Amino acid sequence: MTKPTVYLDTSVINFLFADDAPEKKEITEAFFEDFIKLSIYDTYITEYVLDEINQTRNEENRNRLLRVFQEYPISLLPLKESAEVVSLAEAYLDGTILPVRKILDALHVACCTVAKIDYLVSWNFKHLANINREQRILAKNYELGYKYPLKIITPIELIDYGT
């Protein structure tokens, strides 16, 4: 039996160090220690996540975020230059699925869709981790021939799935 696949958006990595949100930080730390570190899931990011992290102005914070990928078994999906991913992301940016300015969120979703990832994990409730967005994304995916049932959830939901 293959392990479920998980894609981490940048918000999840950021919350490992979010002292201003102690509850989410604690949940995120538990998720990394109890699930990612133990390879309960096959865990992925893309270069889009690395690009976002590399935009962190504070060098110490940026380096701390990048060290996460050395400390945990997280693999890189090689999809950054994929025309299919870019085209699908553009389809999400019609204003009814994702706001036009949320190109990186659309790219995260498109990468997960193309790679047939089971769970996109995010703390971004407004644009990703909510049932209304997920339903609109899945409807667009189905319309375009992508039938794999991507779930967009928070770390707490994934911890519950794994137990």
Residue-level pLDDT at 159:
81
Identify the top-confidence range among 72-76, 91-95, 128-132: 72-76
The distance in angstroms from the start CA to the end CA of the chain is 17
Q: Tell me: pLDDT of 32 over 70.
A: yes
Residue 93 inside a domain? The answer is no
Put residue 65 in one of left, alpha, beta given phi > 0 → left and psi -120 to 50 → alpha.
alpha
| Residue range of the domain that includes 122 | 5-78+116-139+147-162
What is the tally of structural domains in the chain?
Answer: 1
Q: Does 21 fall in a domain?
A: yes
pLDDT value for 162: 45
Q: At what angle do helices 47-54 and 103-115 cross, to 10 degrees?
A: 150
Query: Residue 114 — pLDDT band, cuts 50, 70, 90?
Result: very high
- Mean pLDDT, range 22-47, rounded to an integer: 94
SS3 153: strand
Q: How far apart are CA 136 and CA 91, in angstroms?
A: 11
**Does residue 38 belong to any structural domain of this protein?**
yes
Q: Is 95 part of any domain?
A: no
Q: What is the pLDDT of residue 101?
A: 84
**Looking at the DSSP assignment, which residues form a beta bridge with residue 120?**
7, 152
CATH of the domain at 128: 3.40.50
55 lies in some domain = yes
Kindly state whether residue 91 falls inside one of the protein's structural domains.
no
For the cut 70, the answer to whether the pLDDT of residue 79 exceeds it is yes
